[in-house]
A and B are shown apart, each in its own frame.
Chain A
Amino acid sequence: MIKIKNLHANIDGKEILKGINLEVKAGEVHAIMGPNGSGKSTLSSVLAGREEFEVTEGSVEFDGKDLLDLAPEDRAREGLFLAFQYPVEIPGVSNINFLKTAINETRAYKGIEPISAKEFLAMVKDKSALVELDAKLANRSVNEGFSGGEKKRNEIFQMAMLNPKLSILDETDSGLDIDALRIVANGVNKLKSPNNATIVITHYQRLLDYIVPDFVHVLYNGKIVKSGGKELALELEEKGYDWIKNELKVESEK
C-alpha cells in the first residue's frame, strides 16, 4: 500500500527525518512509537503534504503512485487520511457541508457523480453512530467549541465518511480519557478491513491495548531504530524510551 524509502525531510533547514524506511501492506496495522521530538508528527505531516516540510531525499510510493508528487488534496482523494493531533477549528464552516464538499470533490476526481442527499444523510447517520458522535455535532461548525474528545471522535467520523485506504492516526489518543479512547479505538477497529491499512502514531502503549498492531516501530532521532511485533510496545512501556536510547548509545560506542 505504501512504501517509504530512505525519506529525509527538513523544516527551516533543520533535518528532522533522517532516512525512514517503512512498508505497510493492505490489512495491516503499524504502530510508530517514540519519544517527543523523534519526528513522529513530522512523518505524518510529510505524508499528508504539509508545505513547510521539504523532502530532501527518498521516495514514497502510495498504491503505485509517487505520493510526494501529489498536492495534499490529491493525496486525500487517492485514499490517504490523516487524523490530526490537533484538529483545527473552522468557525462558520459546517461539518456536514465540508464533508459533502470533500466527498464530492473526491468523487469528481475519480469521475464518479456527486453523492445524493439521501445517500449522504444515511451515511452521516450510520458513521456518526460508529463513534457515538452526537448528530448535533455533525451539524455544527468544524470542531468549533468541541471538547478534546469530541474533536478526536470527529476525526474518526471523517475517516469513516471518506473511507480511506490508508489512515494515519497522529497521537489520536493524546488527551483522551479512557472512555473516549475506547470509543475512538472501537471506531477505528470497526473500519478495519483486508483492503485498508492503518498507521498509529503514539507516545503511549495504552492505545495499542485497544488497536492491536501487527507491527511496532520505534522512531528515534529521525530514524526507525527498532521494529517488532506488538510485544515491543509492552517492552517499551515497561522499560521506557531510555532503554532504546541507551541501547543505541552502547551500539554507537562499540
Chain B
Amino acid sequence: MTTAELTKKDTFLATFSALQFNEDSYFKGLRNDAKNELNELDFPTSKTEYWKYTRLGKIVNNTYTLGQPEKIDVSNFLIPNLDAQVLVIVNGHVVADFTSVDGVTVTSLSAAKKQNIGGLKKYFNTLSQNKKEIFLAFNNAFHTDGIYIEVAKNKIVEKPFHIINITTGNNTISQSRNLVVANVGSQVKIIESFVNVGGEKNFNNHVSEFVVAENAVLEYNKIQDKKETNFSIATEQIYQEANSNFTINTATFNGALVRNNLTIEVDASNCETNLNGLYLGKNKDHIDNHTVVDHKKPHCNSNEVYKGILDDESTGVFNGKVFVRQDAQITNAFQQNNNILLTDNAAAYSKPELEIYADDVKCSHGSTTGQIDEEAIFYLQSRGISKKGALKLMINAFAKDALEKVSIEALHTYVDNKIEQELS
C-alpha cells in the first residue's frame, strides 16, 4: 500500500488538529471559514511576489509540537523604569487573569469570547477578510489565545500596557491573537515584546487587530527580540476612522526569520498615521517588513520611516506600499527606507511602492542602501573618538528618526540601550 505523501500544509494542519476550542457557534463559524480558505491556499515560494525575498523553507520544513501554557518569570523582560500594566502570553496562551481598570476592558481573548464582551463581535476577525494569506488563515482557524483590550469612549489611559509575548521550547508552534479597540476619543499606548525563553526553532504566527475609532489615539510599540534560531511571522491589521491617530514603532533586534505584515486601512478623513521601524540584523538573521498603507479618504497624512543596520550575513527586506485611492485627495504620504550594510555579506532588498489614483496629493518615497561613511569615521577618530565610539555615534544618528515617534520615555531609553548593546 502506498500512502499519498503529506504536503507541508497537511503536516501543519495535523499539528493543529489536536486543538479543541470551547467557543460558541459564531466564533467556530469564523474558524471554519478560515479552514475552508486554507484548502485553497498553499505556502508561498520565492515565485510568489509577496514573498520573493523571504524563503520559508526554514519555517515550513520543520515539524512542530504545539506550544503549551507555562508559568514564566518575566522579570527579565520588564522595561526598567516603566510603569505599565504587564500582560503575559506564553506560547499563545494567557496564563493569568487581568484586572480591568476603570474605562478599560482587559482580558484574555478566550474569556472575551465566552462573555461576548462589548465590541468583540463587531470587530474580531473583520479587518482581514479580503486578504487571502496562508499565515493569516492559519491564525484565523487555529489561534489559541491572546489579549483583548477595549478602551471606553473618551477614556485616556495614562499607564501603558506592556504585553510580553513569550515562546518556549524546541520546535514548538504557537499562534497568539490580540484585538485592541480604542473607542471614540480614547487614547492608549501599548508595548508588545516578542521574546523567547530558551529553545530553538520555535515558531510564533501572531495576528493583532487594531481599531482606532473617531478621534482616538493609539500607539503600538513592537519589540522583537527573540534570541537564537527562532521564527516569527506577525500580521497586524489596523482600521482607522475619522480624525484618528495611529502610530506603530517596530524594533527588531534578532530572529532567524522575522516577517511583519502590516496593513493600515485609513478609511476616513483627517487621520494621521505613523509607521516606523528599525531592524538590526546580525549573524544570519533575516528580517522582513512588508507594509501597506491604504488611503481611502481625503485629507490624511502618513509618515513611514524604516531603517536597517545589517551586520555579518544578515538580510533585511523592506516592501512598503502606499495606496492613494481616487477619493483620497489632499493626501500627504511619505515613505522612506534606508539601510546600512556593515559587511560585504549583508544584504538589503528594498522596494518602496506608491499607487496613486487621486490627482491632488503630495507623496514621496525613497530608498537608500549604503555603507558607513569611512571618511566620517576617520574624521571622528581624528578628534579623539575611538573607532567603535565613532561607529556608535554614526549608527545612533542613522537610527534616530526611525524611533522618534516612541513617546514612552522609558521605552526610548530601553531601545537606545538595546541598540548600543547589540552593536558592541
Contact = CB atoms under 8 A, between A and B. Distances in A.
A101 B385 contact: yes
B384 A92 contact: no
A82 interface: yes
B387 A73 contact: yes
Given A92-B397, A93-B393, A98 B380 contact: yes
A152 interface: no
Interface string A58-95: 00000000000001110111000110100111111100
A200 interface: no
Nearest to A106: B384
B382 A162 contact: no
A54 interface: no
Contacts of A88: 373, 375-376, 378-379
Contact of B389 (A105, A141, A158): A105
A90 B387 CA distance: 15
Contacts of B397: 90-93, 141
A105 B385 contact: yes
B122 interface: no
A: contact size bracket: 20 to 34
A72 B378 CA distance: 8
B334 interface: no
A91 B394 CA distance: 8
A222 interface: no
A102 interface: yes
A102 B385 contact: yes
Given A90-B397, A92-B397, A73 B386 contact: yes
B398 interface: yes
B309 to A, nearest CB: 13
Contact of A71 (B375, B379, B381): B381
B381 A72 contact: yes
B382 A76 contact: yes
B389 A101 contact: yes
B400 interface: yes
Interface centre among A76, A98, A158 (most CB of B within 10 A): A98
A50 interface: yes
B383 interface: yes
B404 to A, nearest CB: 11
Interface centre among B382, B389, B393, B398 (most CB of A within 10 A): B382
Contacts of B375: 88
B398 A102 contact: no
A90 B380 contact: yes
A46 to B, nearest CB: 12
A88 B385 CA distance: 15
Interface of B: 373, 375-376, 378-387, 389, 393-394, 396-398, 400-401
23 contacts: A51-B378, A73-B382, A75-B382, A76-B382, A76-B383, A84-B382, A87-B379, A88-B375, A88-B376, A88-B378, A89-B376, A90-B394, A90-B397, A92-B394, A92-B398, A93-B380, A97-B393, A99-B383, A101-B389, A102-B384, A103-B384, A106-B384, A142-B379
- What 9 A-B pairs have minimum CB-CB distances, sorted nearest first? A92-B397, A76-B384, A72-B381, A102-B383, A88-B379, A106-B384, A93-B397, A102-B384, A73-B381
Given A72-B382, A158-B383, 13 more contacts: A71-B386, A73-B386, A73-B387, A76-B382, A82-B382, A84-B379, A87-B379, A88-B376, A90-B379, A93-B393, A101-B385, A101-B389, A106-B384
